[in-house]
């Protein structure tokens, strides 16, 4: 199944614009695109990060004493941007936007073997997109990390996550 054309339904943005008003993605005031259309196989709830300046979501975590992994799915919605995954300020991975956009989410996993990142308490796990081109966009979902809360955003919000810049949660609904 190649999926079906779907419209994005905005649910919530946890951050506010520089003017203090809520950031929205459909009125064109704060973003270069006023409407998004995607191809998706099923209903999905995902975190949306859009650049203007770097945008990120992070969550405070405790790391296990033994080796562990961070895994997630992502999909760039623009051919520009770099997604950086870091733990306590240490870059775990960088993923460049593809020259040809994918219609499916891509899986990614990185093993954490460094002893300096094991057994830590209250450190940030951060997903950040940055680009020289405003409006560069990435969707994130199914973030898995030991003890992580709300890694799949099923509540339709960024509960337990701190958003910086233009980051929010949206629901991608397949038409019936």
Could you give the CA distance from residue 142 to residue 150 in angstroms, rounded to a whole number? 9
Tell me what pLDDT residue 52 has: 67
Tell me what pLDDT residue 4 has: 34
Confidence of residue 132 (pLDDT cuts 50, 70, 90): confident
Burial of 2 (0-12, 13-18, 19+ CB in 10 A): exposed
Tokens 């704060």 label which residue? 30
pLDDT tens-digit readout, 144-155: 999 999 888 877
User: What pTM, to 2 d.p., does this model score?
Assistant: 0.74
pLDDT tens-digit readout, 93-119: 999 999 998 888 999 999 999 999 999
Could you give the CA distance from residue 58 to residue 73 in angstroms, rounded to a whole number? 16
Tokens of 20: 């203090």
pLDDT tens-digit readout, 22-74: 333 333 333 333 223 333 345 566 777 776 668 889 999 999 999 999 999 99
Tell me what pLDDT residue 170 has: 59
Count of beta carbons in the 10 Å neighbourhood of residue 168? 23
Count of beta carbons in the 10 Å neighbourhood of residue 88? 15
**Residue 5 pLDDT more than 50?**
no
């Amino acid at each position: 199944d190649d999926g079906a054309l779907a419209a994005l339904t905005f649910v919530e943005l946890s951050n506010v614009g520089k003017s203090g008003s809520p950031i929205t993605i459909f009125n064109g005031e704060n973003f270069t695109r006023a409407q998004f259309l995607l191809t998706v196989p099923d209903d999905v709830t995902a975190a949306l990060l859009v650049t203007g300046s770097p945008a990120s979501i992070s969550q405070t975590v405790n790391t296990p004493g033994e080796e562990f992994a961070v895994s997630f799915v992502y999909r760039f919605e623009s051919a520009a941007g770099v997604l950086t995954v870091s733990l306590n300020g240490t870059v775990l991975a960088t993923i460049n936007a593809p020259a040809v956009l994918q219609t499916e989410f891509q899986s990614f996993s990185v093993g954490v073997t460094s002893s300096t990142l094991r057994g830590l308490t209250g450190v940030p796990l951060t997903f950040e997109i940055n680009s020289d081109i405003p409006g560069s966009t990435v969707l994130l979902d199914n973030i898995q990390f030991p003890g992580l809360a709300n890694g799949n955003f099923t509540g339709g919000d960024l509960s337990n996550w701190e958003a910086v810049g233009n980051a929010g949660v949206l629901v991608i609904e397949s038409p019936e």
